[in-house]
Structure 1
């Protein structure tokens, strides 16, 4: 199954589908419009409308929901007998570091992983606002490397988050790095504005801050021209902290 958060008409999902077709039967199940930054949300109080979408060479459906909905609908409606792989993307921007908590692209891979399906999220990591997205570079890299990603060893409750440098020529990509998550922090998130009647409203966005001192991370890999591949675990437990936490919160007579 191929999905995304940019909508079924986005160019990134086209290239991902074209490459995926080389590995088996592909079905596209994607939102009917852009759903960026929806995170791992789910539609609970509105009906989901599923409509066939014209696509050369495979079945495709647009869903009136978010990427998590698309995965659930796809597995129930498109793949009732089971699905071998979920690919999400190609996103028209980076999903580095803390971005994974906001990203609908990554959320689709999360949902697939929760449901026991191997999943991969793919993004074009453009670090310049408004810069053109070089999808041809993403296509060329995926043609050469998607099989390697599919065959890579995985663990339960873990998916791969892939970021491809947004360079104009694939030859500019310096290689691939397996990386931990770095940090991308947004500052000045809320901007106050006034409408034509002088009534205040607020616009959320912000400026991304990335420090250079993030050795070995996905952020550093992208800034140095490497593709970053991060194994993301859905078990967020800080096991190293359990012992000290237990000693701090449990009365001694209960130990």
Structure 2
């Protein structure tokens, strides 16, 4: 047993440490010539996040095999909750990025329930309960020529905007009093992690995230610039169109 609440007996054990949710460390056992076996450990920190534009609720670091109940409440309706579901936590073996293993639970509500800003989303396994009020987060305009992404969030909220499939560039914006924000990737930002620029072209996209609430939960989403395409199959007399705006009226002309 290793007690980090008090000083140890040896000279190098004169520090204490407050272990909280999300803390990680390692235990090792060396042999006589310096080789050792190492085991990484982590104090799980169950999280809840909502992907607003995909109507998806995701949980991380919940106990392996636990049954997690999702409830969503719309304060504008009389009933509570307005939606509920139960899923079992999935476990992934230790690997890159998660050497202590990774657990998650997903609720894909696309076409099932429309998650909207202001909804209260709760996950619980009967031991831990996490709640989050969905924020008004969206990317509403992507200016390809100017390399600018604009959108909305709660007024005064911190918004983290990424560009590129692997978040090659990053911008931190604060929504104004009207809830509007703009992320300019054409020039470097003014914060240490905003040095990279990014040339946005059709087919590009990435993620945006609302600031975390008090216990680490958050709303996030993604943005994408459609690369509109047409495909002609003369043998079938077919013309196919891909990645055009949903609901748009598309006119075909053949000369």
Q: TM-score, normalised by structure 1?
A: 0.29
Kindly indicate which of the two structures has a greater share of residues assigned to helix. Answer: 1
Q: TM-score, normalised by structure 2?
A: 0.29
Which protein is bigger by CA-based radius of gyration?
Answer: 2
- Larger RCO (CA within 8 A; separation ≥ 6): 1
Kindly indicate which of the two structures has a greater share of residues assigned to strand. Answer: 2
